[in-house]
Amino acid sequence: MIKKEKLEPLMYIVQPNIKKPEVTMQSTLLKKIANNSKQAVKSTWTKEEIYKRRRELANMTVHEKIDFFSSLPEHVYKNVCEIKTVEKTYKGIILSKENDVVQIRTFDQNEPLKIKSKSILDIKVLGN
Protein backbone atom coordinates (compact mmCIF):
# COMPACT_ATOMS: atom_id res chain seq x y z
CA MET A 1 0.00 0.00 0.00
CA ILE A 2 1.13 3.45 -0.74
CA LYS A 3 1.18 5.91 2.10
CA LYS A 4 -0.67 9.03 1.27
CA GLU A 5 1.08 12.22 2.04
CA LYS A 6 -0.64 14.60 4.35
CA LEU A 7 -2.51 17.07 2.22
CA GLU A 8 -2.73 20.71 3.04
CA PRO A 9 -6.20 22.13 3.62
CA LEU A 10 -8.01 22.98 0.44
CA MET A 11 -9.48 26.22 1.76
CA TYR A 12 -8.06 28.64 4.28
CA ILE A 13 -10.34 30.62 6.54
CA VAL A 14 -8.76 33.88 7.47
CA GLN A 15 -9.26 34.73 11.12
CA PRO A 16 -8.49 38.17 12.49
CA ASN A 17 -5.96 38.39 15.27
CA ILE A 18 -8.06 39.25 18.31
CA LYS A 19 -6.74 39.44 21.83
CA LYS A 20 -8.43 37.21 24.33
CA PRO A 21 -10.29 39.28 26.93
CA GLU A 22 -8.78 39.55 30.35
CA VAL A 23 -11.04 37.99 32.93
CA THR A 24 -10.84 38.67 36.62
CA MET A 25 -11.44 35.38 38.33
CA GLN A 26 -10.97 34.16 41.84
CA SER A 27 -7.62 32.47 42.18
CA THR A 28 -7.59 31.46 45.85
CA LEU A 29 -10.13 30.00 48.24
CA LEU A 30 -10.27 30.44 51.99
CA LYS A 31 -12.27 27.84 53.85
CA LYS A 32 -13.04 27.61 57.53
CA ILE A 33 -12.25 24.22 59.02
CA ALA A 34 -15.44 22.82 60.52
CA ASN A 35 -15.53 20.90 63.75
CA ASN A 36 -16.19 17.20 63.05
CA SER A 37 -18.35 16.64 66.12
CA LYS A 38 -21.79 16.68 64.58
CA GLN A 39 -24.78 16.26 66.81
CA ALA A 40 -27.31 13.58 66.04
CA VAL A 41 -30.24 14.99 64.14
CA LYS A 42 -33.41 14.51 66.09
CA SER A 43 -36.33 13.53 63.90
CA THR A 44 -39.56 15.11 64.99
CA TRP A 45 -42.77 14.31 63.19
CA THR A 46 -45.77 16.55 63.16
CA LYS A 47 -49.28 15.55 62.21
CA GLU A 48 -48.92 17.22 58.81
CA GLU A 49 -45.79 15.27 57.90
CA ILE A 50 -47.30 11.88 58.64
CA TYR A 51 -49.03 10.63 55.52
CA LYS A 52 -52.21 8.78 56.22
CA ARG A 53 -53.05 6.38 53.45
CA ARG A 54 -56.53 6.74 52.01
CA ARG A 55 -58.75 3.68 52.20
CA GLU A 56 -59.82 1.95 49.00
CA LEU A 57 -63.09 3.13 47.56
CA ALA A 58 -64.68 -0.31 47.96
CA ASN A 59 -63.94 -0.24 51.70
CA MET A 60 -65.29 3.28 52.35
CA THR A 61 -68.60 4.02 53.97
CA VAL A 62 -71.28 6.02 52.14
CA HIS A 63 -70.39 9.24 53.98
CA GLU A 64 -66.67 8.78 53.24
CA LYS A 65 -67.48 8.30 49.54
CA ILE A 66 -69.59 11.46 49.53
CA ASP A 67 -66.77 13.43 51.19
CA PHE A 68 -64.22 11.97 48.77
CA PHE A 69 -66.16 12.77 45.57
CA SER A 70 -67.30 16.19 46.75
CA SER A 71 -63.76 17.24 47.70
CA LEU A 72 -62.22 16.45 44.30
CA PRO A 73 -60.83 19.52 42.51
CA GLU A 74 -62.67 20.79 39.44
CA HIS A 75 -59.88 19.90 37.00
CA VAL A 76 -59.91 16.23 38.05
CA TYR A 77 -62.18 13.87 36.13
CA LYS A 78 -65.16 12.93 38.26
CA ASN A 79 -66.39 9.38 37.98
CA VAL A 80 -69.97 8.57 37.12
CA CYS A 81 -71.67 6.96 40.11
CA GLU A 82 -74.82 5.02 40.74
CA ILE A 83 -76.42 6.58 43.80
CA LYS A 84 -79.08 4.44 45.44
CA THR A 85 -81.50 6.25 47.73
CA VAL A 86 -84.60 5.18 49.61
CA GLU A 87 -86.92 6.35 46.79
CA LYS A 88 -84.92 6.00 43.56
CA THR A 89 -81.58 5.10 41.96
CA TYR A 90 -79.71 7.92 40.18
CA LYS A 91 -76.81 7.83 37.74
CA GLY A 92 -74.66 10.92 37.77
CA ILE A 93 -71.76 12.86 39.23
CA ILE A 94 -71.48 14.05 42.84
CA LEU A 95 -70.76 17.78 42.69
CA SER A 96 -70.68 19.03 46.27
CA LYS A 97 -71.88 18.56 49.83
CA GLU A 98 -73.25 21.34 52.01
CA ASN A 99 -74.89 20.87 55.42
CA ASP A 100 -75.96 17.25 54.93
CA VAL A 101 -77.28 18.00 51.40
CA VAL A 102 -75.52 16.43 48.41
CA GLN A 103 -75.71 17.99 44.94
CA ILE A 104 -75.77 15.47 42.08
CA ARG A 105 -75.69 16.19 38.35
CA THR A 106 -77.71 13.51 36.61
CA PHE A 107 -77.90 12.89 32.89
CA ASP A 108 -81.70 13.19 32.88
CA GLN A 109 -82.00 16.71 34.28
CA ASN A 110 -80.35 20.00 33.35
CA GLU A 111 -80.07 21.35 36.87
CA PRO A 112 -78.27 19.68 39.79
CA LEU A 113 -80.39 17.50 42.05
CA LYS A 114 -80.25 18.00 45.82
CA ILE A 115 -80.52 14.92 48.04
CA LYS A 116 -80.10 14.57 51.80
CA SER A 117 -77.07 12.44 52.58
CA LYS A 118 -79.03 10.44 55.17
CA SER A 119 -81.33 9.11 52.45
CA ILE A 120 -78.42 7.70 50.38
CA LEU A 121 -78.07 3.96 50.91
CA ASP A 122 -75.21 3.07 48.57
CA ILE A 123 -72.81 4.60 46.04
CA LYS A 124 -71.21 2.52 43.29
CA VAL A 125 -68.69 3.78 40.76
CA LEU A 126 -69.63 3.07 37.14
CA GLY A 127 -66.56 2.75 34.91
CA ASN A 128 -63.29 4.63 35.19
57-126 carries CATH number 2.30.30.520: yes
Q: 53-58: long-range contacts at Cβ-Cβ below 8 A with a sequence spacing of 24 or more?
A: 57/125
- Say what the pLDDT of residue 43 is: 57
- Say what the pLDDT of residue 28 is: 81
**CA separation for the pair 122, 86 (Å, rounded):** 10
Which has more pLDDT, 44 or 27?
A: 27
pLDDT at residue 52 is higher than 80: no
Confidence (pTM): 0.55
Domain-wise residue ranges, the chain: 57-126
